[in-house]
Amino acid sequence: MIETLTIAIGADHGGVHMKTRLATALRDAGHEVLDFGTDGPASVDYPDFAQAVCAAVAQKRAAYGVLVCGTGIGMSIAANRNPAIRCGLVHDVTTARLTRAHNDANVLALGARIIGEEVALDILAAFLGTTFEGGRHERRLSKLNKTTEPTP
């Protein structure tokens, strides 16, 4: 029996095909998907989709978010502006596992022009299948949103 999760997903035009593939896989696995678009090839702005997905995660309407753009870089930068979000830009299964185990990432960013869709599916499975280790990592997470004085 798998744990049924609600996952928020979004992409820009560079990631829309991969997003569709990931959303289908999530639904096939029994998860609920909140799809914030985009849904076609027309050029759009990635921050709009990152902000919608991250709001759903921050408001606990979704357990996790998945963001796809051409490189994953723009999406990850936009996502990490939200103080409730820890977004990992991931290119392989190992960093997918570790960004959950060590960073308690709640959003996954992927680059559709960088990795293949089969790799992305394996990454998503590793991300959802890994729990946060806590311990020393909890202390580090607690420091993430502390502002520091600029050094003179």
Instruction: Verify whether residue 87 is a known catalytic residue.
Output: no
Q: Which is nearer to ligand RB5, 51 or 71 (CB)?
A: 71
Annotated catalytic residue, options 13, 31, 54, 69: 69
Report, in Å, the least distance between residue 31 CB and ligand RB5: 25
Q: Which residue carries 């609920």 as its tokens?
A: 32
Report, in Å, the least distance between residue 69 CB and ligand RB5: 3
Instruction: Verify whether residue 31 is a known catalytic residue.
Output: no
Q: Is 134 left (phi over 0), alpha (psi -120 to 50) or beta?
A: left
Q: Which is nearer to ligand RB5, 50 or 128 (CB)?
A: 50
Q: Which residue carries 């928020």 as its tokens?
A: 8
How many CB atoms lie under 10 A from the CB of residue 149? Answer: 5
Angle between the N-to-C axes of helices 117-128 and 93-101, in degrees from 0 to 180, rounded to the nearest 10:
20
Q: How far apart are CA 70 and CA 109, in angstroms?
A: 10
Residue among 80, 86, 77, 90 nearest 125 (CA)? 90
Report, in Å, the least distance between residue 22 CB and ligand RB5: 15
DSSP string, 80-95: TTSTT--EEE-SSHHH
Annotated catalytic residue, options 17, 91, 102, 137: 102
Q: Which is nearer to ligand RB5, 44 or 128 (CB)?
A: 44
Report, in Å, the least distance between residue 112 CB and ligand RB5: 8
Q: Which is nearer to ligand RB5, 67 or 128 (CB)?
A: 67
Q: By CB under 6 A, name the binding residues for ligand RB5.
A: 12, 14, 46, 69-71, 73-74
Residues annotated as part of the active site: 69, 102
